[in-house]
Structure 1
Amino acid sequence: MSAKKSFPLRIDPKLYEILERWAADEFRSVNSHLEYLLRDAASKAGRLPGGRYPPPESPPSSDTN
């Protein structure tokens, strides 16, 4: 696995609470969910070289089919 860049992030506490709940719903940590959201936005904006970035591992499906 490649090294990850660390940096401080200031964020509104209410927004962080929203991200915490959203990340929990997706079975991710807040950090990995933020990275997922940023990667998805960069991909949709055509900012990633070579097209789509490989998606992170998906959480287990709750589908019972």
Structure 2
Amino acid sequence: MAKKQYPLRVDPELWAAVERWASDELRSVNGQMEFIIRDSLKRAGRLPKDLPPAHTNSRR
């Protein structure tokens, strides 16, 4: 599956927090951002049913 590229402007402190979280979860920042978006969509009941499962590298 081809991934859509999107430029994202983020506050540097917010980006640093995501970098730390990604490091803690053994993910890339890109992978962590996808995890955050996917989790938010799931919690809101808006995750498409046909979306393939995420690849996780988390220690959990």
- Give me the identity figure in percent: 47
TM (normalized to structure 1)? 0.78
Greater RCO structure (CA 8 Å; 6+ sep) = 2
TM (normalized to structure 2)? 0.84
Letter in 1 for 2:20: R
**Runs in 1 of length 4+ with deviation above 3 angstroms?**
none
Q: Is the 8 A contact 1:36 1:56 kept in 2?
A: no
Unmatched runs of 5 consecutive residues or more in structure 1: none
Structure whose alpha-carbon radius of gyration is higher: 1
Give the aligned CA root-mean-square deviation in angstroms.
Answer: 2.0
Q: Is the 8 A contact 1:23 1:33 kept in 2?
A: yes
